[in-house]
Amino acid sequence: MAKQTITKIIRKAKKYLGVSSQEIMNQMIEFYKLKNSDGMKQMFEAYKNWEIRRRAGSRTIEETIKLSKKNFDFVARIADGYLNNKDIEVGLYQAVQLPKNASGPVSQFYRKAIDYHPFDPSMN
């Protein structure tokens, strides 16, 4: 049986996502290296749709989409640090400690792929 892609696993997910944030991060890095913006966008869309399906009743769809973009952006920022240091802890530290506008190649690629502008007040 062929291995399912991260995107396919997310698309089929019910209550639980079925993949780890590290698996998503690794896939983001692979999409970045291959310059596969369609793959990045499809993976994000699958994640966003999963979040919408399982959203809490008190959160609107718009709030859920905004949260989905921020969640993926955070993982992309971890990927930036990991790409440079090959250390997940360094990537996590940098994602938490560095200003959000201190983006690296993976997060820039992700943002461009889904047309996300986290620092534009009209888009957030």
What is the tens place of the pLDDT at every residue in 72-94?
999 999 999 888 888 777 777 77
- Tell me whether residue 119 is in a domain: no
Look at the chain and report how many structural domains it folds into.
1
- Please report whether residue 79 resides in a domain: yes
Give the three-class secondary structure for 27.
helix
In terms of residue numbers, what domain contains 83? 6-114
Sequence letter at residue 57: G
pTM of the entire predicted model? 0.86
Is 104 inside any structural domain?
yes
In the block, which residue shows the tokens 């609107």?
Answer: 60
User: What are the φ/ψ torsions at residue 57 (nearest 5 degrees)?
Assistant: -60, -25
How high is the mean pLDDT of the chain?
87
